[in-house]
Homo-oligomer: A and B are copies of this chain.
């Protein structure tokens, strides 16, 4: 098995891209990744993995692999779409890593894209609910935020967690997004303001939810030894793991912990031969504040029930113990579903290269990204590391 590295990354702004198609967005992000990779032309790309969830139901378009390869002028390669709900981006990256690790291909483009603004809000809500079970959960009228509200409420009850402690994760994301040119919501906020926003599904407030956004992000990966030829600062993929959980919340032993995240994290730490204490910069999947909070626990950074307090004490700020979601996270950078996992990879890459500008985590050597599909049904964990 070969070591794999990230050679280049790029993304579009996250927002409502009324004037751009799915194809335009993916093209823009991919070209930026190619420029960043410094490859002369694009002739080296041998494979394309497109992370996307909703193109079939919203755009009436499947077959994104061949479609996007052609749009990029690189048809003749191996290309497909990879789907794992909101975890599609991380899952696509994982498949790219396997392709390079296998020795079958050297240069792979992984690109995530989603365009929710082509749908009305109710349509987008229905499309996102395809992450859950259409014959059971969706059928009875549950929505994605509604299911997360159950978890949020139980978390508060079980651990005596305070609303403003959970809301602090949203404030952290917004404060970091101010300096992120690609972010959807570039305004600072406070836990108090978050809790003053309208309730969406009690006890979840509007400012605790990642909004609907359009965007694309891309990464070019290759064998580590090739990356060293092209770049003085190779970023190694120290681990790439994914896991699933029992699909329905109602059938899980514990809904206050996502076993997929726990399993993927444990496997990733083992593969990278490190522990949570070695992580310098972290990207967690905060589709809702409660999801980000529980993720901090599942990834091994704090004990169960202590995530919210840990956040409220300022530990995840850029100058804190565990700088988290330093470009805004899903909450404020935005959450263009199938692209989110690749945005995380791009952001970690910038941090490890020292290119994070005002939000730079000084001396960051190792970063971890966690991307989730459904209500924790799928998780991917990636550990990136400066390889010198």
Contacts and interface: CB of A to CB of B under 8 A. Distances in A.
Interface string A14-55: 000000010100000000000000000000000000000110
Contact of A131 (B57, B62, B246, B260): B62
Given A99-B98, A102-B98, A104-B98, A63 B83 contact: yes
Of A126, A131, A377, most buried by chain B (CB within 10 Å of CB) is: A377
Contacts of A374: 63, 66
Given A101-B102, A104-B101, A133 B53 contact: no
A75 B134 CA distance: 18
B101 A66 contact: no
Interface in A99-120: 99, 101-104
Nearest to A67: B247
A77 interface: yes
State the majority secondary structure of interface residues on A: mixed
Contacts of A62: 53-54, 57, 83, 85, 130-131
Nearest to A51: B80
A45 to B, nearest CB: 11
A181 to B, nearest CB: 29
Given A57-B57, A57-B60, 7 more contacts: A61-B135, A63-B84, A66-B244, A66-B373, A67-B377, A75-B246, A82-B83
Contacts of A81: 82-84
B65 A84 contact: yes
28 contacts: A54-B56, A56-B56, A60-B126, A60-B130, A61-B134, A62-B85, A62-B130, A63-B373, A63-B374, A63-B377, A63-B378, A64-B83, A65-B378, A66-B85, A66-B377, A67-B247, A67-B377, A69-B247, A70-B247, A70-B248, A75-B247, A76-B244, A76-B259, A77-B243, A79-B378, A81-B84, A82-B83, A101-B102
A293 interface: no
A96 B215 CA distance: 29
What 4 pairs between A and B have smallest CB-CB spacing? A56-B56, A102-B102, A70-B247, A62-B130
A70 B101 contact: no
Contacts of A59: 134
B60 A134 contact: yes
A140 interface: no
Nearest to A2: B102
A86 B331 CA distance: 36
Nearest to A377: B66
A171 interface: no
A247 B66 CA distance: 6
Interface residues of A, number: 64
Contacts of A60: 57, 126, 130, 134, 138
A253 interface: no
A332 interface: no
A110 to B, nearest CB: 13
A143 interface: no
A245 interface: yes
A255 to B, nearest CB: 15
Contact of A130 (B63, B245, B263): B63
A71 B133 CA distance: 11
Contacts of A85: 62-63, 66
A78 interface: yes
A378 to B, nearest CB: 5
Interface string A238-250: 0001111111100
A385 interface: no
